[in-house]
Amino acid sequence: GSSSSESADNGSGSDTIAIGFSQVGAESGWRAANTKDIQDTLTEENGFKLSFSDAQQKQENQIQALRSYIAQGVDVLAFSPVVETGWDAVLQEAKNANIPVILTDRAVDTADDSLYESFIGSDFVEEGQRAGQWVADNFKDEELKVVELQGTTGSAPAIDRKEGFEKAIAGTDIKVVDSQTGDFTRAGGKQVMEGFLNSHDDIDLVFAHNDDMGLGAIEAIEAAGKKPGEDIKIVTIDAVKDGMQALADGKINYIVECNPLLGADLAEVAKKVVAGESVEKRIVVEDAAFTQEEAEKALPDRKY
Ligand code: GZL
Ligand code: ZN
């Protein structure tokens, strides 16, 4: 376009969108798939100059990255907030700098939702509810003892998945007898499950907020001489390849998907926002769910 009307050059040529993205970390298979999709989609040929950073699951690193992108004068900011609270200051700084913000994957808890343009991600309450509903449907009259491996404390998926699961089992004899965070990692899930196995000899089912913690629980259950998927049932959320393989192998009993492929929606929303077009405040990503049989069929074509 004509140079005079273009916005101040963002150092990447006026038609390319300079986007700063702060990623939670690299804690799980889901995160790896999400990162790959964003980096494969927000490319030069798609009209983007992507600055990407990994915060190792620390909020202060995310805030630091967002501030550096604001200082660089990017056209748009995007991030997946590791926890729900503590973002108002940096979001206000972005607003003061006229840099629009897009949330992907996880939500923030803010009184002023003018601080971001759009939130693109799954409905985590529904994911927890679908997991709980499968348990309620399959064990409705049993006094089932459940232990819960929670995601990162204070994160939207951990808060919402717990809420959804509890809603689904309300009114049944299913009881969550222990619940602790494994921080969405395999190592965390294994360590917490070892603790649960030491303090409970009556565990019937594990509800893990993601596949990676479920895979860690499998290691702990097998080390204790029990059969995962049989002696102790396992229900998880994500449906990444390793989780789906364990499901097909009968070590996990049910998985609710959490689609990590958010790159296309992010690219579309970023282009509209930079062009000054209105965008939907909330874009809900659709998720599927898989039994052991369905995993066998789906595995060959799984993209992640
Ligand atoms: C969910 C995402 C969660 C995944 C975990 O959208 O935020 O974080 O369920 C990941 O695997 O670590
Ligand atoms: Zn017990």
CB atoms inside a 10 Å sphere around CB 56? 13
Q: Is the CB of 160 under 6 A from ligand 1?
A: no
Dist. CA 49–CA 73, nearest whole Å: 12
**Residue 290 is encoded by which pair of tokens?**
């898989």
Residue whose Cα lies nearest atom 9 of ligand 1: it is: 210
Contact 214, 253 (CB under 8 A): no
pLDDT in tens, 226-274: 999 999 999 999 999 999 999 999 999 999 999 999 999 999 999 999 9
pLDDT tens by residue, the chain, 304 residues:
344 444 455 454 558 999 999 999 999 999 999 999 999 999 999 999 999 999 999 999 999 999 999 999 999 999 999 999 999 999 999 999 999 999 999 999 998 999 999 999 999 999 999 999 999 999 988 999 999 999 999 999 999 999 999 999 999 999 999 999 999 999 999 999 999 999 999 999 999 999 999 999 999 999 999 999 999 999 999 999 999 999 999 999 999 999 999 999 999 999 999 999 999 999 999 999 999 999 999 999 988 8
Which residues, including other chains, have CB under 8 Å from residue 133's CB and lie 6 or more apart? 168
CA 95 → CA 75, 77, 112, 245, distances in Å?
12, 11, 11, 44
Which residues, including other chains, have CB under 8 Å from residue 192's CB and lie 6 or more apart? 149, 180, 181, 182, 213
pLDDT in tens, 79-104: 999 999 999 999 999 999 999 999 99
Which atom of ligand 1 is least distant from the CA of 212?
Answer: 11
HSE-up of residue 145 (Cα within 13 Å, Cβ side): 12
Could you list which residues have their CB under 5 Å from ion ligand 2? 177, 200, 202
Q: Is the CB of 181 under 6 A from ligand 1?
A: no
Q: Is the CB of 104 under 6 A from ligand 1?
A: no
**ipTM here:** 0.94
Residue 191 CA, ligand 2 centroid: distance in Å: 17
Which atom of ligand 1 is least distant from the CA of 185?
Answer: 12
